[in-house]
Amino acid sequence: MPNNRSAPFLLVVIAAIVALAVSLIVVKTWQVAPTGPVTKEHAYTRVLQTGTLRVGYVAYPPATIVDASGKRITGIFPALLEDIASRTGLRVEFAEEVGWATLIEGLDTGRYDIVGGLWANPSRGKAATVSAPVYFSGVGVWVRPDESRITPADNWESINRPEIRIAAIDGSTPLSIAKTQFPKATLTTYPNLTSESQLFLDLVSNKIDVFFAEPAQGMLFLQANPNSIRNIASTHPIRVFANVFLMRKDEFQFKNMIDTAIADLQSSGRVAEVLREYEPIPGAFYRVAPPYAPLDSKPD
């Protein structure tokens, strides 16, 4: 007959074996389990490793000018990017032309490292890392010369009516202005890569009533189409936006490099020189004020 006194000993042995097996599983799991969320390589790291700034760009003269062949990229931001690259020991590669609605996606997926020549608005500030301002643009309210229904006297509330037809390009800052400030107006949207000149043409042909654009854009159109449109916000722009570079979100060391280079370009006078070269008339763009008081200034 079995020895009843050996049963407790057998149970102890079995329990020890089970405990050892469980501990081995835990140790093995601890060894192979990830210690945290998988993160993408920072664009800044890749830029330093390759020595190359891969650039996404929006065709938006004179900030960025793309010739008919699509091979020659000039303008304010390309010129300044070349200067930034020179000062940081990098080279510039113009990787891809993008549209307003998809430029953030290209940063997030790593198709390029930086985009320049666009306005810093709240949605872009949420989705990307924004550089220091290079210069500022006042946003004009462009209408036909005979337009009498729209006036700044009521803080532009005369635009906020169903009979007023506003035009804007998908993903653009003017689209955000139209949606947030003038929700009652009739909004016509244009595809992502539409040229702003097309909206000016539709304004002239009475397909739309108002279009928000910086003075430089309207001036370029007026050079080819004199007296066809007018800006009724030339004295008091409807908004003022900083023209900036964008990088992928959380790229703070990348931003530090770009901001420091921008400050050097501002201080040396290079930004002012490039703006003078490309602005359609003197004073079309607002300059960044120096962050210090002149030595000969008197305290208040």
Question: Residue 283: inside a domain, yes or no?
Answer: no
**Judgement on whether residues 58 and 197 belong to the same structural domain of the protein:** no
CA separation for the pair 56, 219 (Å, rounded):
26
Q: Which pLDDT score, from 0 to 100, does residue 172 have?
A: 94
Q: Which pLDDT score, from 0 to 100, does residue 16 have?
A: 53
Question: Residue 28: inside a domain, yes or no?
Answer: no
Which secondary-structure segment (H or E) carries 240? strand 239-248
Q: What is the pLDDT along the chain (300 residues), one digit of tens a residue?
A: 445 545 555 544 455 554 555 444 443 333 333 444 444 689 999 999 999 999 999 999 999 999 988 789 999 999 999 999 999 999 999 999 999 999 999 999 999 999 999 999 999 999 999 999 999 999 999 999 999 999 998 889 999 999 999 999 999 999 999 999 999 999 999 999 899 999 999 999 999 999 999 999 999 899 999 999 999 998 889 999 999 999 999 999 999 999 999 999 999 999 999 999 999 888 899 999 998 887 776 666
Burial of 279 from C-beta contacts in 10 A (0-12 / 13-18 / 19+):
middle
Question: Residue 12: inside a domain, yes or no?
Answer: no
Question: Residue 182: inside a domain, yes or no?
Answer: yes
| Nearest one of 182, 231, 219 to 62, comparing CA atoms | 219
**The model's pTM:** 0.81
Peptide bond into 62 cis (omega under 30): yes
**Judgement on whether residues 262 and 145 belong to the same structural domain of the protein:** no
CATH number where 177 lies: 3.40.190.10
Last residue of a domain, one of 240, 269, 290: 240
Q: Which pLDDT score, from 0 to 100, does residue 15 have?
A: 52
User: What is the domain count for the chain?
Assistant: 2
Question: Residue 36: inside a domain, yes or no?
Answer: no
The token duo for 117 is 């020549």
Q: Which pLDDT score, from 0 to 100, does residue 47 have?
A: 97
Q: Which pLDDT score, from 0 to 100, does residue 295 have?
A: 78
**Judgement on whether residues 177 and 89 belong to the same structural domain of the protein:** no
**Judgement on whether residues 68 and 47 belong to the same structural domain of the protein:** yes
Q: Which pLDDT score, from 0 to 100, does residue 71 have?
A: 81
Structural domain that includes position 213: 138-240
Question: Residue 81: inside a domain, yes or no?
Answer: yes
